[in-house]
Amino acid sequence: MKNEDIPTLIKELRERLNLTQEQFAQKVGVTYSTVNHWENAKRVPLPFLVKRLVEMKEELDSQDAKPLKKKSTR
């Protein structure tokens, strides 16, 4: 993943999870200011965190691709 794509990835992921920067920071195990710096392209996450974020996005993407089960009307 290119460094310039990372802020977009982080913001998109955070918004899809409906989390604030502070809540997202807690979920990922970093500080609010770190997430803020990532989203504003002031810093780049460590490679293992980028991998984790990509995996989180892929998991969300796969969940979105699954068809919704119809509820029984009985």
What the chain holds in terms of domains, given with CATH numbers, is 3-62 (1.10.260.40)
Q: Which long-range contacts (CB under 8 A, 24 or more apart) does 4-11 make?
A: 4/41, 6/38, 6/41, 6/44, 6/45, 6/50, 6/53, 7/38, 7/39, 7/40, 7/41, 9/53, 9/54, 9/57, 10/35, 10/38, 10/39, 10/45, 10/53, 11/39
In the predicted structure, residue 41 carries a pLDDT above the cut 60:
yes
pLDDT digits (tens, 9 = 90+) for 26-37: 999 999 999 999
Q: What global pTM score does this model have?
A: 0.79
